Amino acid sequence: MIENISQLPPWIFSLIGLAYGLIVGSFANVCISRLPKKESVVFPASHCPHCNKPIHATDNIPLISYILLKGKCRNCKRKISLIYPVIELITGLLMAAVFYRFGFSWECLIFAIVVPALVIITMIDIEHQIIPDAITLPGIIFGLAAGSYLNGWLDSVIGLVLGGGMFWLLAEGYLRMRGKMGMGGGDIKYIAAAGALMGWVQVLFIIFIGALAGGIFGGIGMGVKKLNFLSRIPFGPFLALATLISIFFGDPIVNWYLNLVTRQPL
Ligand SMILES: [Zn+2]
């Protein structure tokens, strides 16, 4: 059975990833709306945000139900936000990419857990400006275990301490100078988890890309909308995006850069 799966052509394997991602994306929607309220993500079953009527299993098929019901609740006929199917589709496509990139492997299993968490973190941070402990704390444990498998335990521990330590120092420095929190504790725990998972080289890459993306977005925001230096832009989405880039392209980009600077491959 396992040999059969590992011998599947990559495109069939990524279709399995797509199906898995659509289902997980549906669960991600539940997490996005319930985790900030500290509600259980298991009970009760999904219900309509307007009339609270439980959604029947046959009306809860990712993407397909939304299209068949034309984006309306079967009971009260009110419109269901387009964000739900969009989250399902994004998670589905990302999982198709993960399955394609990593094939039938432990890496695939690890990132099949991590990538949906990145989607959830992004959406919750945009809506509520927090990254819940319910994700980051298990994330640190998972990061240490998975990171030890991927890069060795030492690299994992250094990644955790380096990432978490840098953000903690930044937050402390900002607090001392300005007398208020600039970076949330959620960001610190997040980067500690990301460092444990990806190792010390990639956590520096993630911080660099996250700061770059956040800076570009903030710059555009100041030009287009009336954001200013004091506007609170959630950093989580940029860190999540940078982590995603690190997962798919981190090693080749870092090697290319080191080659450019030192003419020595890592
Ligand atoms: Zn309804």
121 Cα: distance to centroid of ligand 1 (angstroms): 27
50 Cα: distance to centroid of ligand 1 (angstroms): 5
Q: What is the dihedral of CA 244, 247, 248, 254, to 10 degrees?
A: 110
130 Cα: distance to centroid of ligand 1 (angstroms): 28
Could you tell me if 138 and 93 lie in one domain?
Answer: no
Q: What is the pTM of this model?
A: 0.91
Could you tell me if 156 and 221 lie in one domain?
Answer: yes
Token pair, residue 117, equals: 């968490």
What is the predicted pLDDT for the residue at 118? 98
236 Cα: distance to centroid of ligand 1 (angstroms): 32
Could you tell me if 146 and 260 lie in one domain?
Answer: yes
Could you tell me if 143 and 90 lie in one domain?
Answer: no
pLDDT in tens, 49-102: 899 899 888 888 899 999 999 999 999 999 999 999 999 999 999 999 999 999
Could you tell me if 91 and 145 lie in one domain?
Answer: no
What is the predicted pLDDT for the residue at 44? 84
78 Cα: distance to centroid of ligand 1 (angstroms): 6
Could you tell me if 160 and 96 lie in one domain?
Answer: no
Of the candidates 263, 265, 245, the one whose C-alpha atom is nearest the C-alpha of residue 255 is 265
Could you tell me if 219 and 87 lie in one domain?
Answer: no
| Contacts of residue 64, Cβ cutoff 8 Å, sequence gap at least 6 | none
Could you tell me if 246 and 136 lie in one domain?
Answer: yes
49 Cα: distance to centroid of ligand 1 (angstroms): 7
What is the predicted pLDDT for the residue at 2? 63
Residue 112 lies in a domain: no
Residue 122 lies in a domain: no
H helices of 129-199, in order, are 133-151, 153-178, 185-198
Could you tell me if 134 and 262 lie in one domain?
Answer: yes
Could you tell me if 152 and 189 lie in one domain?
Answer: yes
Residue 115 lies in a domain: no
Could you tell me if 150 and 247 lie in one domain?
Answer: yes
Q: Angle at Cα 234 formed by Cα 184 and Cα 82, nearest 5°? A: 135
73 Cα: distance to centroid of ligand 1 (angstroms): 5
Residue 114 lies in a domain: no
Residue 30 lies in a domain: yes
Instruction: Print the domain residue range for 15.
Output: 1-104
* Number of compact structural domains in the chain: 2
Last residue of a domain, one of 104, 121, 156: 104
What is the predicted pLDDT for the residue at 232? 67
Of the candidates 139, 248, 237, 117, the one whose C-alpha atom is nearest the C-alpha of residue 190 is 139
pLDDT tens per residue, the chain (266 residues)?
A: 666 777 888 889 999 999 999 999 999 999 999 999 998 988 888 888 899 899 888 888 899 999 999 999 999 999 999 999 999 999 999 999 999 999 999 999 999 999 999 999 999 999 999 999 999 999 999 999 999 999 999 999 999 999 999 999 988 888 888 877 767 789 999 999 999 999 999 999 999 999 999 988 888 877 777 666 556 678 999 999 999 999 999 999 999 998 888 876 55
Spatial contact of 210 and 242, defined as CB atoms under 8 Å apart: yes
Residue 117 lies in a domain: no
263 phi, psi to nearest 5 deg: 60, 25
20 Cα: distance to centroid of ligand 1 (angstroms): 26
Could you tell me if 247 and 149 lie in one domain?
Answer: yes
